[in-house]
Structure 1
Amino acid sequence: MKKYLEITLILFFSLNIQAQDFKTSQDSIRFFYDNLFEVMKNGYLFREKVDWKEIETKINNELKQYSDFNKSLNEVSIVFDLTKADHSKLFYNGKQFSGNFPAPTQDDFTEQWIKKYKINPQFEVKILDNQYGYILMPGMHSEKNLHKQSQDLYDEVNKIKKSNKLQGWIIDLRFNTGGDIFPMLLALYDFLGDNVVWGILDINKNQISEIKLKNGKYKDNSKTVSYIKPEGKLLDKINIAVITNLATGSSGEITALAFKGRENTTFIGKKTYGKTTSNIKADLPFGAFMTLTTSYDCDRNGNYYEKIIPDVTIGEKDNFDNLLLDGNIQEAIKFISE
């Protein structure tokens, strides 16, 4: 798939990088990779499973062939391959570097999905058949004003909510390949209510953090990360159908996870991609940074899912030209109407 699965959570990992004078390109290259390995050895979730001595020796030998720093970054992909860091990426000067891991292809998707994907679907809220709310929640990045972004999304939902008495809502995550989770969950606040919505597990799958929504605030443990000003009655008991597929990944999967354990909720479609780990942003020399996998994701009850398996599996029945003919939507309406 052309579009990459993006980061689930932005935190900040600061390195004490001091300005240095480098006499040769090899000095710069070595300094950069020393820092890259240090970051990964200290924070990478699966660091204890990696033979760092063997990998560093291999990579350092390969680096000897480079006299240009930019070209040396080709070895980053090899680092990720050897450490099995399949949810990490490195960013430098507008370019991104990742490992070589299996990924979905067009053959995994319907013609209808591919057609819709090519036009870069945006956040959308509307009513189907005068009775059902529909939210298309694609992947998204945080904007500079995170509160305003989240509020604008929430307001679109609230506008439909307060002016219509609907039987239930459909949340479509079939194009949610990831991004920043804050605006996604805040937009869906009315359906999730004042609850723990997901959490973070360590390598032993012990819970080390919980994320909750409270009075419109997104709280990571006790810290408020962002917020909205909610309006009207919560819909945290209304029937909800969540639709997923193989493109649903990373923070798209967290969005689905947030509804696990919620009453009056069903999951429809296909299993998700399987990037249910959290990343932080780790700064590197020369303005580069990486998304570093540091933990597992879990639902509100501390349960980990390698992939999210739907309650009702639907085959090749996408129809984005007419949603009422879409097999996933039809199954969602059936659940809501029961």
Structure 2
Amino acid sequence: MKKPWKYILVFFLISNSFTSCAQKSETELTLDKIIEHAENNSLYRKNVDWTSLKKEMYALVKNADSVSQLKPALNLMLKKLNDTHGRVFYNNQVLSYYNGEIKEHQKNIDIAIYNEIQSGQVYEFKASIIENDIGYVRIVGLPVGDNEKMSSEIQNSICELIQKGAKKWIIDLRYNGGGNMFPMVEGISNIIGDGIVGGTKGVTIQESSVWQIKNGDFFYDEQTVALENKCPITDKQKVAVLTSVYTASSGEALAVILKKRVKTKFFGNITMGMITATDWKQIDSLTAMSISVSYYKDRENNLYNQYVDVDEIIEFEPKAEINKDKGVSRAIEWLNEQK
């Protein structure tokens, strides 16, 4: 008679495996999903030893019984990825992020000003005529929301300036801390002009994208706002772009879109350095994550993996009145040059 112990052992191991999976808590399953998404989609995924990292993460939170207690493991993951643009959200609050080492150009950041710009409550969108035919447009960070409404508000202001005689432009991105790039770009698409205006570069071709303006509409691959073009501009007009160290994320994306554009020059300071496109993944009803998936690139395929630079460094004084603003003054001088 054959001894059944081998079959009993195999049955025990299989049963134990199913029991172990069944006993995973909701918190553990959430962590599994977060890790899986980062391992498969992060721009920096190839820089990480995932076997080792997973062991460290699980050890850090082995007694966690809620998603909020996963923070040490999530912080470790973003640090190992060196993803300073990534975030994990829980119950509509940021649960985990990684600031990274402060870069040299970031050392003079005024935290109070940074917080004011990020709040979106202190510095507002502005559009006005200065110096006869120069239109000044301040594009600030915008939230996720009604893209058509926000785009229309910006475009309508541009159209009013055109009616008042604007033929040259100052696009001020110094107060733009990021957010929703679609209305930012769509609103000034007429000024930017038609054509390929940049895109993103990921680990694979499938993870890369193209930014294009067609007939005054901005396209992110196939996604667009499709706003009615109320005041088309037929020629490439002169544009001065103002940036600061507070220009971040989608504010930097808009700066990249204006890079290498003809009749365009950048003034101010190099930008924050949050120069990656991020995704959005809903993990469960209360948990979501956003990680870096690609770098920005301009219309000539130059990659931006540190910050967006400027042609002339000009001191930024956030509280200065527009007639005493050094950046605006220098932009006006250049726009008025007969070249």
TM-score bracket, normalised by the shorter chain, equals 0.7 to 0.9
Larger-gyration structure (1/2)? 2
The aligned runs of 1:95-174 (5 Å cut-off) are 95-96=93-94, 97-102=96-101, 107-109=108-110, 117=117, 120-143=122-145, 145-162=146-163, 164-174=164-174
Q: Does the aligned pair in 1 maintain the 2:90–2:286 contact within 8 Å?
A: yes
Give the Cα–Cα distance (whole angstroms) in 1 for the partners of residues 329 and 205 of structure 2: 37
Report the equivalent of 2:27.
Answer: 29
Shift of 1:232: 2.7
Give the Cα–Cα distance (whole angstroms) in 2 for the partners of residues 185 and 100 of structure 1: 27
Deviations 1:109-160 (A, max 9, x none): 499x6797485212111122444211111111231x3222211221111112
Give the Cα–Cα distance (whole angstroms) in 1 for the partners of residues 111 and 92 of structure 2: 31
Question: Residues 224, 72 of structure 1: CA spacing in aligned structure 2 closer, same or farther, 3 A cutoff?
Answer: closer
Give the Cα–Cα distance (whole angstroms) in 2 for the partners of residues 85 and 115 of structure 1: 21
Deviates more, 1:70-79 or 1:190-199: 70-79
Deviations 1:71-110 (A, max 9, x none): 2334322221122121110111121021242458794249
Shift of 1:167: 4.6
Shift of 1:253: 0.7
Deviations 1:273-317 (A, max 9, x none): 1122111111213431111211111011211122111101113x5
Question: Residues 115, 308 of structure 1: CA spacing in aligned structure 2 closer, same or farther, 3 A cutoff?
Answer: closer
Give the Cα–Cα distance (whole angstroms) in 1 for the partners of residues 294 and 92 of structure 2: 26
Give the Cα–Cα distance (whole angstroms) in 1 for the partners of residues 47 and 116 of structure 2: 40
Among residues 85, 92, 95, which one is paired with 1:94 in the alignment?
Answer: 92
Question: Residues 91, 160 of structure 1: CA spacing in aligned structure 2 closer, same or farther, 3 A cutoff?
Answer: same
Q: Does the aligned pair in 1 maintain the 2:270–2:309 contact within 8 Å?
A: yes
Report the 3-state secondary structure (helix = DSSP H, G, I; strand = E; otherwise coil) of the residue aligned with 2:225. Answer: strand
Report the 3-state secondary structure (helix = DSSP H, G, I; strand = E; otherwise coil) of the residue aligned with 1:190. Answer: helix
Report the 3-state secondary structure (helix = DSSP H, G, I; strand = E; otherwise coil) of the residue aligned with 2:240. Answer: strand
Percent same amino acid among aligned pairs? 24
Deviations 1:198-232 (A, max 9, x none): 211123899942111112322233x2421211123
Letter in 1 for 2:37: V
Deviations 1:161-220 (A, max 9, x none): 12x223511111111111111100011111112111121112389994211111232223
Report the equivalent of 2:197.
Answer: 197
Report the equivalent of 1:290.
Answer: 289
Give the Cα–Cα distance (whole angstroms) in 1 for the partners of residues 111 and 321 of structure 2: 15
Report the equivalent of 1:84.
Answer: 82
Gapped regions of structure 1 (runs ≥ 5): 1-21
Give the Cα–Cα distance (whole angstroms) in 2 for the partners of residues 88 and 265 of structure 1: 31
Q: Does the aligned pair in 2 maintain the 1:217–1:224 contact within 8 Å?
A: no
Higher helix share: 2
Report the equivalent of 1:308.
Answer: 308
Letter in 2 for 1:179: G
Q: Does the aligned pair in 1 maintain the 2:240–2:331 contact within 8 Å?
A: yes
Question: Residues 154, 232 of structure 1: CA spacing in aligned structure 2 closer, same or farther, 3 A cutoff?
Answer: closer
Question: Residues 231, 100 of structure 1: CA spacing in aligned structure 2 closer, same or farther, 3 A cutoff?
Answer: closer
Gapped regions of structure 2 (runs ≥ 5): 1-20
Give the Cα–Cα distance (whole angstroms) in 2 for the partners of residues 157 and 50 of structure 1: 46
Q: Does the aligned pair in 2 maintain the 1:212–1:219 contact within 8 Å?
A: yes
Report the 3-state secondary structure (helix = DSSP H, G, I; strand = E; otherwise coil) of the residue aligned with 1:82. Answer: helix
Report the equivalent of 2:246.
Answer: 247
> TM-score under structure 2 normalisation?
0.83
Give the Cα–Cα distance (whole angstroms) in 2 for the partners of residues 328 and 235 of structure 1: 28
Q: Does the aligned pair in 2 maintain the 1:270–1:309 contact within 8 Å?
A: yes
Question: Residues 110, 53 of structure 1: CA spacing in aligned structure 2 closer, same or farther, 3 A cutoff?
Answer: closer
Give the Cα–Cα distance (whole angstroms) in 1 for the partners of residues 91 and 166 of structure 2: 48
Letter in 2 for 1:56: K
Q: Does the aligned pair in 1 maintain the 2:207–2:294 contact within 8 Å?
A: no
Among residues 30, 39, 42, which one is paired with 2:40 in the alignment?
Answer: 42
Give the Cα–Cα distance (whole angstroms) in 2 for the partners of residues 165 and 217 of structure 1: 23
Deviates more, 1:45-54 or 1:278-287: 278-287
> TM-score under structure 1 normalisation?
0.84
